[in-house]
Structure 1
Amino acid sequence: MLYIFDLGNVIVNIDFNRVMGAWSDFTRVPLATIKQKFTMGEAFHQHERGEISDEVFAEKLCLEMDLPLSYEQFSHGWQAIFVALRPEVIEIMHKLREQGHRVVVLSNTNRLHTTFWPDEYPEVRQAADHIYLSQEMGMRKPEARIYQKVLELEGYAAADAVFFDDNADNIEGADQLGITTILVTDKETIPHYFAKQLC
Protein backbone atom coordinates (compact mmCIF):
# COMPACT_ATOMS: atom_id res chain seq x y z
CA MET A 1 0.00 0.00 0.00
CA LEU A 2 0.93 3.63 -0.50
CA TYR A 3 0.35 5.78 2.57
CA ILE A 4 0.28 9.55 1.93
CA PHE A 5 0.55 11.88 4.91
CA ASP A 6 -0.03 15.62 4.95
CA LEU A 7 2.45 17.56 7.12
CA GLY A 8 0.68 20.33 9.06
CA ASN A 9 -1.62 19.11 11.87
CA VAL A 10 -1.00 15.55 10.71
CA ILE A 11 2.72 14.97 11.41
CA VAL A 12 3.58 18.37 12.90
CA ASN A 13 1.24 20.55 14.94
CA ILE A 14 0.80 24.00 13.41
CA ASP A 15 -1.05 27.09 14.60
CA PHE A 16 -1.69 30.18 12.46
CA ASN A 17 -2.60 32.13 15.60
CA ARG A 18 1.08 32.06 16.54
CA VAL A 19 1.96 33.66 13.21
CA MET A 20 -0.56 36.45 13.62
CA GLY A 21 0.43 36.90 17.27
CA ALA A 22 4.06 37.49 16.27
CA TRP A 23 3.02 40.00 13.59
CA SER A 24 0.81 41.76 16.14
CA ASP A 25 3.75 42.02 18.55
CA PHE A 26 5.96 43.54 15.83
CA THR A 27 3.41 46.05 14.54
CA ARG A 28 1.23 46.72 17.60
CA VAL A 29 -1.76 46.09 15.34
CA PRO A 30 -4.41 44.27 17.43
CA LEU A 31 -4.50 40.49 16.91
CA ALA A 32 -8.25 40.63 16.22
CA THR A 33 -7.65 43.08 13.36
CA ILE A 34 -4.98 40.87 11.77
CA LYS A 35 -7.21 37.78 12.10
CA GLN A 36 -10.00 39.64 10.34
CA LYS A 37 -7.77 40.63 7.42
CA PHE A 38 -5.78 37.41 7.04
CA THR A 39 -7.03 35.24 4.17
CA MET A 40 -5.55 32.35 2.23
CA GLY A 41 -6.23 34.00 -1.12
CA GLU A 42 -4.60 33.94 -4.54
CA ALA A 43 -1.17 35.13 -3.32
CA PHE A 44 -1.19 32.27 -0.78
CA HIS A 45 -1.98 29.74 -3.51
CA GLN A 46 0.60 31.19 -5.91
CA HIS A 47 3.25 30.98 -3.19
CA GLU A 48 2.40 27.33 -2.46
CA ARG A 49 2.74 26.50 -6.17
CA GLY A 50 6.13 28.23 -6.27
CA GLU A 51 4.82 30.83 -8.73
CA ILE A 52 5.94 33.84 -6.68
CA SER A 53 8.98 34.43 -4.49
CA ASP A 54 8.96 34.65 -0.70
CA GLU A 55 9.62 38.38 -0.94
CA VAL A 56 6.73 39.03 -3.33
CA PHE A 57 4.44 36.89 -1.17
CA ALA A 58 5.42 38.82 1.97
CA GLU A 59 4.87 42.12 0.17
CA LYS A 60 1.44 41.09 -1.13
CA LEU A 61 0.26 39.76 2.22
CA CYS A 62 1.46 42.82 4.12
CA LEU A 63 -0.35 45.00 1.60
CA GLU A 64 -3.57 42.96 1.93
CA MET A 65 -3.46 43.15 5.73
CA ASP A 66 -2.07 46.70 5.85
CA LEU A 67 0.81 45.57 8.09
CA PRO A 68 4.07 47.58 8.28
CA LEU A 69 6.36 44.54 8.59
CA SER A 70 9.92 44.24 7.34
CA TYR A 71 10.68 41.05 5.40
CA GLU A 72 12.65 39.76 8.41
CA GLN A 73 9.72 40.40 10.75
CA PHE A 74 7.30 38.77 8.33
CA SER A 75 9.56 35.70 8.02
CA HIS A 76 10.04 35.40 11.78
CA GLY A 77 6.26 35.39 12.28
CA TRP A 78 5.71 33.03 9.36
CA GLN A 79 7.98 30.39 10.92
CA ALA A 80 6.17 30.65 14.27
CA ILE A 81 3.43 28.45 12.79
CA PHE A 82 5.29 25.25 13.76
CA VAL A 83 4.50 24.00 17.26
CA ALA A 84 5.72 20.42 17.78
CA LEU A 85 6.19 17.04 16.17
CA ARG A 86 3.59 14.29 16.65
CA PRO A 87 5.93 11.41 17.64
CA GLU A 88 3.12 8.85 17.57
CA VAL A 89 2.63 9.48 13.83
CA ILE A 90 6.38 9.28 13.13
CA GLU A 91 6.39 5.91 14.91
CA ILE A 92 3.50 4.65 12.76
CA MET A 93 5.25 5.80 9.57
CA HIS A 94 8.35 3.81 10.54
CA LYS A 95 6.25 0.71 11.32
CA LEU A 96 4.50 0.93 7.95
CA ARG A 97 7.82 1.04 6.13
CA GLU A 98 9.10 -1.91 8.16
CA GLN A 99 6.05 -3.85 6.96
CA GLY A 100 6.99 -3.11 3.34
CA HIS A 101 4.54 -0.31 2.64
CA ARG A 102 5.50 2.89 0.82
CA VAL A 103 5.20 6.04 2.97
CA VAL A 104 5.29 9.56 1.53
CA VAL A 105 4.50 13.10 2.65
CA LEU A 106 2.41 15.42 0.45
CA SER A 107 2.33 18.98 1.72
CA ASN A 108 1.04 22.32 0.53
CA THR A 109 3.98 24.41 1.65
CA ASN A 110 6.33 27.15 0.45
CA ARG A 111 10.03 27.90 0.20
CA LEU A 112 9.98 30.05 3.32
CA HIS A 113 8.68 27.19 5.45
CA THR A 114 11.09 24.70 3.92
CA THR A 115 14.01 26.78 5.19
CA PHE A 116 12.77 25.89 8.67
CA TRP A 117 10.90 22.64 9.27
CA PRO A 118 13.27 20.11 7.59
CA ASP A 119 16.06 21.21 9.95
CA GLU A 120 13.77 21.63 12.94
CA TYR A 121 12.09 18.23 12.46
CA PRO A 122 14.58 15.89 10.72
CA GLU A 123 12.45 12.98 11.96
CA VAL A 124 9.94 13.69 9.17
CA ARG A 125 12.43 12.99 6.38
CA GLN A 126 13.75 9.96 8.26
CA ALA A 127 10.25 8.46 8.50
CA ALA A 128 9.25 8.99 4.85
CA ASP A 129 10.35 7.32 1.62
CA HIS A 130 9.78 10.59 -0.22
CA ILE A 131 8.50 14.12 0.48
CA TYR A 132 6.37 15.85 -2.14
CA LEU A 133 6.10 19.62 -1.72
CA SER A 134 3.61 21.79 -3.58
CA GLN A 135 6.08 24.56 -4.43
CA GLU A 136 8.44 22.06 -6.04
CA MET A 137 5.66 20.36 -8.00
CA GLY A 138 4.06 23.59 -9.26
CA MET A 139 0.64 22.41 -8.08
CA ARG A 140 -1.24 22.19 -4.80
CA LYS A 141 -3.94 20.22 -3.03
CA PRO A 142 -6.86 19.83 -3.67
CA GLU A 143 -6.03 19.97 -7.42
CA ALA A 144 -6.58 16.49 -8.89
CA ARG A 145 -3.32 16.66 -10.84
CA ILE A 146 -1.14 16.70 -7.70
CA TYR A 147 -2.62 13.41 -6.44
CA GLN A 148 -2.40 11.90 -9.92
CA LYS A 149 1.26 12.91 -10.16
CA VAL A 150 2.13 11.32 -6.81
CA LEU A 151 0.35 8.09 -7.79
CA GLU A 152 2.14 8.10 -11.15
CA LEU A 153 5.58 8.72 -9.64
CA GLU A 154 5.04 6.11 -6.94
CA GLY A 155 3.57 3.54 -9.35
CA TYR A 156 0.39 2.90 -7.36
CA ALA A 157 -3.28 2.85 -8.35
CA ALA A 158 -5.67 5.11 -6.42
CA ALA A 159 -7.32 2.00 -4.97
CA ASP A 160 -4.01 1.07 -3.32
CA ALA A 161 -3.44 4.43 -1.62
CA VAL A 162 -4.52 5.90 1.73
CA PHE A 163 -4.36 9.67 2.30
CA PHE A 164 -4.37 11.52 5.65
CA ASP A 165 -5.09 15.26 5.72
CA ASP A 166 -6.63 17.76 8.13
CA ASN A 167 -8.31 19.81 5.37
CA ALA A 168 -11.74 18.69 4.17
CA ASP A 169 -11.24 20.16 0.67
CA ASN A 170 -7.98 18.23 0.24
CA ILE A 171 -9.70 15.06 1.41
CA GLU A 172 -12.53 15.55 -1.08
CA GLY A 173 -10.07 16.12 -3.93
CA ALA A 174 -8.32 12.81 -3.25
CA ASP A 175 -11.58 11.00 -2.55
CA GLN A 176 -12.92 11.89 -6.01
CA LEU A 177 -9.99 10.00 -7.56
CA GLY A 178 -10.77 6.83 -5.61
CA ILE A 179 -8.06 7.21 -2.96
CA THR A 180 -9.03 6.02 0.53
CA THR A 181 -9.12 9.20 2.62
CA ILE A 182 -8.97 9.88 6.34
CA LEU A 183 -9.81 13.36 7.66
CA VAL A 184 -7.47 14.06 10.58
CA THR A 185 -9.46 15.98 13.19
CA ASP A 186 -7.12 15.58 16.17
CA LYS A 187 -4.00 13.80 17.41
CA GLU A 188 -5.93 10.57 18.01
CA THR A 189 -7.25 10.10 14.45
CA ILE A 190 -4.21 8.35 12.99
CA PRO A 191 -3.33 6.18 16.03
CA HIS A 192 -6.97 5.05 16.20
CA TYR A 193 -7.04 4.23 12.49
CA PHE A 194 -3.95 2.05 12.75
CA ALA A 195 -4.75 0.49 16.14
CA LYS A 196 -6.08 -2.70 14.51
CA GLN A 197 -3.77 -2.79 11.46
CA LEU A 198 -0.57 -2.62 13.49
CA CYS A 199 -1.53 -4.90 16.39
Structure 2
Amino acid sequence: MLYIFDLGNVIVDIDFNRVLGVWSDLSRVPLATLQSRFQMGESFFQHERGEISDEKFAQEICHELELPLSYEQFAAGWQAVFVGVRPEVIAIMHRLREQGDRVVILSNTNNLHCQFWPEHYPEVQAAADKTYLSQEMGLRKPDPHIYQRLLNLEEMSAAEAIFFDDNRENIEAARALGIHSLHITDADVIPAFFADRIAGG
Protein backbone atom coordinates (compact mmCIF):
# COMPACT_ATOMS: atom_id res chain seq x y z
CA MET A 1 0.00 0.00 0.00
CA LEU A 2 0.92 3.63 -0.47
CA TYR A 3 0.21 5.77 2.58
CA ILE A 4 0.07 9.52 1.88
CA PHE A 5 0.31 11.82 4.90
CA ASP A 6 -0.33 15.56 4.94
CA LEU A 7 2.09 17.49 7.17
CA GLY A 8 0.25 20.22 9.09
CA ASN A 9 -2.16 18.99 11.80
CA VAL A 10 -1.52 15.42 10.67
CA ILE A 11 2.17 14.81 11.47
CA VAL A 12 3.03 18.22 12.96
CA ASP A 13 0.62 20.39 14.93
CA ILE A 14 0.29 23.92 13.53
CA ASP A 15 -1.57 27.01 14.73
CA PHE A 16 -1.89 30.15 12.62
CA ASN A 17 -2.90 32.18 15.66
CA ARG A 18 0.71 31.83 16.81
CA VAL A 19 1.81 33.56 13.60
CA LEU A 20 -0.61 36.42 14.10
CA GLY A 21 0.38 36.70 17.76
CA VAL A 22 4.06 37.24 16.90
CA TRP A 23 3.17 39.76 14.19
CA SER A 24 0.91 41.59 16.63
CA ASP A 25 3.65 41.76 19.26
CA LEU A 26 6.22 43.03 16.75
CA SER A 27 3.96 45.52 14.98
CA ARG A 28 1.68 46.63 17.83
CA VAL A 29 -1.28 45.96 15.55
CA PRO A 30 -4.00 44.39 17.75
CA LEU A 31 -4.33 40.62 17.40
CA ALA A 32 -8.09 40.89 16.84
CA THR A 33 -7.44 43.26 13.93
CA LEU A 34 -5.04 40.81 12.29
CA GLN A 35 -7.44 37.92 12.86
CA SER A 36 -10.20 39.82 11.11
CA ARG A 37 -7.98 40.78 8.16
CA PHE A 38 -5.97 37.60 7.57
CA GLN A 39 -7.13 35.29 4.82
CA MET A 40 -5.51 32.74 2.56
CA GLY A 41 -5.79 34.65 -0.69
CA GLU A 42 -4.10 34.44 -4.07
CA SER A 43 -0.63 35.44 -2.85
CA PHE A 44 -0.82 32.64 -0.27
CA PHE A 45 -1.66 30.11 -3.00
CA GLN A 46 1.01 31.48 -5.35
CA HIS A 47 3.61 31.14 -2.61
CA GLU A 48 2.60 27.53 -1.95
CA ARG A 49 2.92 26.75 -5.68
CA GLY A 50 6.40 28.32 -5.73
CA GLU A 51 5.29 31.08 -8.11
CA ILE A 52 6.46 34.03 -5.99
CA SER A 53 9.49 34.49 -3.73
CA ASP A 54 9.43 34.57 0.06
CA GLU A 55 10.22 38.27 -0.06
CA LYS A 56 7.39 39.02 -2.49
CA PHE A 57 4.98 36.99 -0.37
CA ALA A 58 6.01 38.86 2.77
CA GLN A 59 5.56 42.18 1.00
CA GLU A 60 2.07 41.24 -0.21
CA ILE A 61 0.86 39.95 3.16
CA CYS A 62 2.25 42.97 5.01
CA HIS A 63 0.43 45.21 2.53
CA GLU A 64 -2.85 43.30 2.91
CA LEU A 65 -2.68 43.35 6.71
CA GLU A 66 -1.15 46.85 6.96
CA LEU A 67 1.74 45.37 8.92
CA PRO A 68 4.85 47.57 9.40
CA LEU A 69 7.29 44.64 9.61
CA SER A 70 10.74 43.97 8.22
CA TYR A 71 11.21 40.77 6.22
CA GLU A 72 13.05 39.23 9.18
CA GLN A 73 10.17 40.08 11.54
CA PHE A 74 7.65 38.69 9.07
CA ALA A 75 9.63 35.46 8.74
CA ALA A 76 9.93 35.08 12.52
CA GLY A 77 6.17 35.18 12.79
CA TRP A 78 5.61 32.91 9.80
CA GLN A 79 7.81 30.20 11.36
CA ALA A 80 5.88 30.38 14.64
CA VAL A 81 3.05 28.36 13.07
CA PHE A 82 4.72 25.09 14.11
CA VAL A 83 3.76 23.72 17.52
CA GLY A 84 5.37 20.28 17.61
CA VAL A 85 5.47 16.77 16.17
CA ARG A 86 2.84 14.11 16.84
CA PRO A 87 5.16 11.26 17.95
CA GLU A 88 2.44 8.63 17.70
CA VAL A 89 2.07 9.36 13.96
CA ILE A 90 5.84 9.22 13.45
CA ALA A 91 5.84 5.80 15.13
CA ILE A 92 3.03 4.58 12.86
CA MET A 93 4.87 5.76 9.75
CA HIS A 94 7.96 3.82 10.80
CA ARG A 95 5.93 0.67 11.47
CA LEU A 96 4.24 0.90 8.07
CA ARG A 97 7.62 1.07 6.35
CA GLU A 98 8.94 -1.81 8.45
CA GLN A 99 6.09 -4.01 7.23
CA GLY A 100 6.89 -3.15 3.60
CA ASP A 101 4.44 -0.35 2.81
CA ARG A 102 5.40 2.88 1.04
CA VAL A 103 5.02 6.07 3.14
CA VAL A 104 5.12 9.56 1.63
CA ILE A 105 4.27 13.10 2.69
CA LEU A 106 2.17 15.41 0.47
CA SER A 107 2.09 18.95 1.81
CA ASN A 108 0.85 22.35 0.74
CA THR A 109 3.78 24.29 2.11
CA ASN A 110 6.26 26.94 1.00
CA ASN A 111 9.96 27.65 0.83
CA LEU A 112 9.96 29.79 3.96
CA HIS A 113 8.42 27.03 6.08
CA CYS A 114 10.81 24.51 4.55
CA GLN A 115 13.69 26.53 5.95
CA PHE A 116 12.29 25.65 9.38
CA TRP A 117 10.56 22.31 9.84
CA PRO A 118 13.10 19.93 8.23
CA GLU A 119 15.81 21.31 10.53
CA HIS A 120 13.70 21.46 13.68
CA TYR A 121 11.79 18.21 13.07
CA PRO A 122 14.27 15.88 11.30
CA GLU A 123 12.27 12.89 12.52
CA VAL A 124 9.50 13.81 10.05
CA GLN A 125 11.52 13.22 6.89
CA ALA A 126 13.23 10.25 8.53
CA ALA A 127 9.82 8.58 8.86
CA ALA A 128 8.92 8.95 5.16
CA ASP A 129 10.23 7.34 1.99
CA LYS A 130 9.71 10.60 0.07
CA THR A 131 8.34 14.10 0.61
CA TYR A 132 6.22 15.81 -2.06
CA LEU A 133 5.96 19.58 -1.56
CA SER A 134 3.55 21.93 -3.34
CA GLN A 135 6.16 24.60 -4.06
CA GLU A 136 8.40 22.05 -5.77
CA MET A 137 5.58 20.45 -7.76
CA GLY A 138 4.04 23.75 -8.87
CA LEU A 139 0.67 22.43 -7.74
CA ARG A 140 -1.26 22.47 -4.49
CA LYS A 141 -4.08 20.43 -3.03
CA PRO A 142 -6.98 20.15 -3.84
CA ASP A 143 -5.92 20.35 -7.51
CA PRO A 144 -6.51 16.77 -8.75
CA HIS A 145 -3.32 16.93 -10.83
CA ILE A 146 -1.14 16.91 -7.71
CA TYR A 147 -2.60 13.59 -6.56
CA GLN A 148 -2.35 12.07 -10.02
CA ARG A 149 1.25 13.18 -10.42
CA LEU A 150 2.15 11.64 -7.07
CA LEU A 151 0.48 8.35 -8.04
CA ASN A 152 2.31 8.37 -11.38
CA LEU A 153 5.67 9.04 -9.73
CA GLU A 154 5.04 6.31 -7.17
CA GLU A 155 3.79 3.95 -9.90
CA MET A 156 0.72 3.17 -7.83
CA SER A 157 -2.99 3.20 -8.60
CA ALA A 158 -5.55 5.18 -6.61
CA ALA A 159 -6.91 1.87 -5.28
CA GLU A 160 -3.52 1.14 -3.71
CA ALA A 161 -3.36 4.45 -1.81
CA ILE A 162 -4.66 5.80 1.50
CA PHE A 163 -4.53 9.56 2.16
CA PHE A 164 -4.66 11.45 5.46
CA ASP A 165 -5.38 15.21 5.54
CA ASP A 166 -6.98 17.73 7.90
CA ASN A 167 -8.66 19.72 5.11
CA ARG A 168 -12.04 18.40 3.93
CA GLU A 169 -11.68 19.93 0.47
CA ASN A 170 -8.39 18.08 -0.03
CA ILE A 171 -10.00 14.85 1.17
CA GLU A 172 -12.95 15.17 -1.21
CA ALA A 173 -10.65 15.85 -4.18
CA ALA A 174 -8.62 12.73 -3.43
CA ARG A 175 -11.76 10.63 -2.97
CA ALA A 176 -13.02 11.82 -6.37
CA LEU A 177 -9.94 10.16 -7.88
CA GLY A 178 -10.66 6.91 -6.07
CA ILE A 179 -8.11 7.34 -3.27
CA HIS A 180 -9.32 6.05 0.09
CA SER A 181 -9.05 9.18 2.26
CA LEU A 182 -9.40 9.90 5.96
CA HIS A 183 -10.28 13.35 7.30
CA ILE A 184 -8.05 14.10 10.30
CA THR A 185 -10.15 16.12 12.72
CA ASP A 186 -7.97 15.59 15.80
CA ALA A 187 -4.82 13.81 16.99
CA ASP A 188 -6.69 10.61 17.88
CA VAL A 189 -7.96 9.77 14.37
CA ILE A 190 -4.81 8.20 12.92
CA PRO A 191 -3.87 6.09 15.99
CA ALA A 192 -7.49 4.82 16.12
CA PHE A 193 -7.45 3.99 12.39
CA PHE A 194 -4.27 1.95 12.72
CA ALA A 195 -5.04 0.38 16.12
CA ASP A 196 -5.76 -3.07 14.66
CA ARG A 197 -4.14 -2.64 11.23
CA ILE A 198 -0.40 -2.79 11.84
CA ALA A 199 1.94 -4.89 13.90
CA GLY A 200 2.47 -3.30 17.29
CA GLY A 201 -0.50 -0.96 16.71
What TM-score do you get using the length of structure 1 for normalisation? 0.99
Equivalence map 1:122-141=2 (5 Å): 122-141=122-141
Give the equivalent residue in structure 1 for 2:62: 62
Q: For residues 40-89 of structure 1, give each alpha carbon's deviation from its aligned partner in whole angstroms, at most 9, with x where no partner exists.
A: 00000000000000000000001111111110000000000000100000
Tell me the distance in 2 between the aligned counterparts of 1:86 and 1:113.
Answer: 18
How far did residue 196 of structure 1 move?
Answer: 1.2
Name the SS for the 1:111 alignment partner: coil
Q: Structure 2: state its 5+ residue gaps.
A: none
Tell me the distance in 2 between the aligned counterparts of 1:172 and 1:31.
Answer: 33
Q: For residues 12-61 of structure 1, give each alpha carbon's deviation from its aligned partner in whole angstroms, at most 9, with x where no partner exists.
A: 00000000000000011110000011000000000000000000000000
Q: For residues 163-187 of structure 1, give each alpha carbon's deviation from its aligned partner in whole angstroms, at most 9, with x where no partner exists.
A: 0000011111101100000000011
Q: Does 1:173 align with 2:173?
A: yes
Equivalence map 1:94-113=2 (5 Å): 94-113=94-113
RMSD of aligned alpha carbons: 0.5
Tell me the distance in 1 between the aligned counterparts of 2:15 and 2:75.
Answer: 15
Name the SS for the 2:112 alignment partner: helix
How many pairs were matched up? 199
Tell me the distance in 2 between the aligned counterparts of 1:37 and 1:162.
Answer: 36
Tell me the distance in 2 between the aligned counterparts of 1:169 and 1:45.
Answer: 15
Tell me the distance in 1 between the aligned counterparts of 2:184 and 2:33.
Answer: 29
Tell me the distance in 1 between the aligned counterparts of 2:119 and 2:67.
Answer: 29
Give the equivalent residue in structure 1 for 2:7: 7
Equivalence map 1:134-173=2 (5 Å): 134-173=134-173
Q: For residues 121-155 of structure 1, give each alpha carbon's deviation from its aligned partner in whole angstroms, at most 9, with x where no partner exists.
A: 00011100000000000000000000000000001
Q: Structure 1: state its 5+ residue gaps.
A: none
Tell me the distance in 2 between the aligned counterparts of 1:93 and 1:27.
Answer: 40
Name the SS for the 1:131 alignment partner: strand
> Residue type of the partner of 1:132?
Y
Sequence identity (%) = 66
